[in-house]
Amino acid sequence: MASVVMEPEDRRRGLTVRWPGGPFSGRVPLLDLRSTAGREPGRRCGTGREDQMAPRQAVLGMDGASFFHGSAKVFENVSFLLDDARTALVGENGAGKTTLLRCLSGELELDKGQVLKSRSLRVGYLPQDIPEGLDDLPVREVLRAFLDKVGHGDDDWRIDVMLDEIEVAPEVAEQRFGALSGGWRRLLLIAGAAVLEAPDILILDEPTNHLDLTNINRLEDWLTASFDVPMLIVSHDREFLNRVTDRTLFLRSDGVHSFKSRFDLAREELLRRDAAAATRRKVEEKEVRRLEAAAARYKVWAVKNPDLNKRKKAIETRIARIENDRTEVIGVRERRLELADGDIDARVALRVHGLTVTTPDKARTLINIDRLAIAAGDRVAILGTNGAGKTTLLNALAAAFDPARQHYDGTAAVRFNPAARLVYFDQSMKDLPLKASLLGYVAAAPEATERDAVRLLAQAGFPFIRINDPIGRLSYGERARLIFLRLKLERPNFYLLDEPTNHLDIEGQEALEAELEAAEVSCLFVSHDRYFTRTAANRFLEIRRGKLVEVDDPDGFFDAQGR
């Protein structure tokens, strides 16, 4: 469908764009910002279930938008307007968030409805995956592509200014892009889209992917303090959304629900609305049952008194009216992520004594652990800067698990309780058989039948029509959910989790948090998700100068990163 062009508002040019802590303090006239003058009167957005919005400036949006993949609905009847707020777009895995962003950016075309766009609006869009084919290019050439989009391809000085702002040494511009860490590649692309491309509105899809905590904090500070254009952000990082955004859109099966507040407050209000809608629905259903019983009685009585047929038909009309106008209850689809109960009778699930953790090539020592005990039911978060050895520690513990020997070897550096059944969630998910079907993968678990697999897949949010699809068709969030389902069938009581929330949607994260606590399993995990870390853990170990130091809470570590 064609976009509808809206008349532009006044512009103002020039903005001091500063990366927090950066040495550059000049003005960079690259950004083209919208004026907040001439605000439009409020209008109701979306499907009629949103807050009454009074947009300060409508710059981009959708009206009655629908998108289908073949015959399958991705999203339908979506309507909203973005103003100059920093807006979060939240939805379950598979709700169509990324597809919606691609439609707004012009990469995809809607099947129905319209994209509403101000005339000459420049949309900056950065997808969640780092584009292929960039690894062998110099960093400067990758960044120059952003300048090419806006006709400034010869202005390399803009690249140098931007690199100075984000505290990147000038020589980095001549390095291979692929030689940088995933986090720095991601950060450079965000900076390129936000600064070099000079957008009127910036769209970011999972901007914290591949970033360590230091760079997440740095990105938060920059977006909130130094970059002042409207934004639309998709992220499953709840802390990031709470710090960066001030408006929230929830994408659901019935359209978009809009709230003029940050994520956590908006989520509370959405849940209150869901509860109120469910209550109204129960009242309506009770009334329908009462009327149906009355209509049935009049039908019997009308055998002897035909005049009563009129009353029966009147009641049936009332029933039809209630059914036609009945309250729609959406709510969050219940997805059960049940973990096996912890059943280690002895108090200590793991003892570590005199363990040295080194880099894979043994060239450098990362961590020395003199003594460590993990009790049954402990959920331990490992805190540390990038490269401190967090994942390497988990790998070392997983490699040391040997039910046939280590449990009973009193001289071993790592000793698990004899009753321990260990599983390891690897953030890369590299061992997942992408060509296998969902049903085959789950049914192959010990003691699992095909009937069990179908039931468990349904509980985990995989409908029957998808169970024979290859795993490779799943989104990364759905793959993570599938792995947790399979791990559960191993009946573990000790979990090692490396970035378990990387691809889980917010509902999936909350389910994992709840189940880790309810199952009373032992767990060591690494996560850059601050919200998950605070909620899921009951102990915190920080890597400091090669030692594990127990701290009361993670906030001191979080606040020290990148600030």
> How high is the pLDDT of residue 347?
81
**What span, in angstroms and rounded, lies between the C-alpha atoms of 469 and 357?**
41
Closest C-alpha among 550, 15, 3, 472 to residue 229: 15
Residue 397 gets the label, from left (phi > 0), alpha (psi -120 to 50) or beta, of alpha
- Establish how many alpha carbons lie within 13 A of residue 158's alpha carbon, considering only the half-sphere containing its beta carbon: 25
- From first to last of its 563 residues, the chain has per-residue pLDDT tens of 556 555 444 333 333 344 444 332 333 333 333 333 333 333 333 333 444 444 456 579 999 999 998 888 899 999 999 988 899 999 988 889 999 999 999 999 999 999 999 888 899 999 988 888 888 898 889 999 888 888 876 788 888 888 887 778 888 888 898 888 778 888 899 988 888 888 999 999 999 987 888 889 888 988 887 778 899 999 999 999 999 999 999 999 888 999 999 999 999 999 999 888 888 889 989 999 999 999 898 888 888 888 888 888 999 899 999 888 888 877 555 555 555 555 555 588 999 999 999 988 888 999 999 999 999 999 999 999 888 999 999 999 999 998 766 555 666 789 898 888 899 998 888 889 999 999 999 999 888 889 989 999 998 888 899 999 999 988 888 899 999 999 888 888 999 999 999 888 898 898 889 888 888 889 999 999 999 999 999 999 999 999 999 999 999 999 888 65
Chain segment 249-261, per-residue pLDDT in tens: 999 988 899 999 9
3-class secondary structure per residue, 274-330: HHHHHHHHHHHHHHHHHHHHHHHHHHHHCCCCCCHHHHHHHHHHHHHHHHHCCCCCC
Domain 4-261, CATH: 3.40.50.300
> How high is the pLDDT of residue 339?
53
3-state secondary structure of 15: strand
Chain segment 330-370, per-residue pLDDT in tens: 755 555 555 555 555 558 899 999 999 998 888 899 999 99
**What span, in angstroms and rounded, lies between the C-alpha atoms of 444 and 153?**
55
Edge-first strand listing for the sheet containing 60-69: 4-6, 112-118, 60-69, 72-82
Which residues, 6+ apart, have CB-to-CB distance to 314 below 8 Å? none
Q: How far is CA 518 from CA 4, 300, 349, in A?
A: 51, 54, 17
Angle of CA points 503, 508, 512, to nearest 5°: 105
Pairing of strands 112-118, 4-6: parallel
* Same fold yes or no, 4-261 and 348-560: yes
> How high is the pLDDT of residue 98?
93
> How high is the pLDDT of residue 57?
62
**What span, in angstroms and rounded, lies between the C-alpha atoms of 367 and 545?**
8
3-state secondary structure of 251: strand
Residue 281: other Cβ atoms inside 10 A: 14
Residue 316 has φ and ψ, to the nearest 5°, of -65, -35
Whether 43 contacts 53, CB under 8 Å = yes
Bridge partner list, 437: 470
Specify the pTM.
0.72
Which residues, 6+ apart, have CB-to-CB distance to 410 below 8 Å? none
Closest C-alpha among 330, 320, 260, 329 to residue 295: 320
> How high is the pLDDT of residue 46?
38
Domain 348-560, CATH: 3.40.50.300
- Looking at beta carbons, which pairs linking 540-543 to residues 24 or more positions away fall under 8 Å? 540/380, 540/381, 540/383, 541/372, 541/380, 541/381, 541/382, 541/383, 542/383, 542/384, 543/367, 543/382, 543/383, 543/384, 543/385, 543/388, 543/389, 543/390
> How high is the pLDDT of residue 32?
33
- Domain ranges for the chain, please list them: 4-261, 268-324, 348-560
**What span, in angstroms and rounded, lies between the C-alpha atoms of 234 and 24?**
30
Residue 398: other Cβ atoms inside 10 A: 16
Which residues, 6+ apart, have CB-to-CB distance to 371 below 8 Å? 352, 353
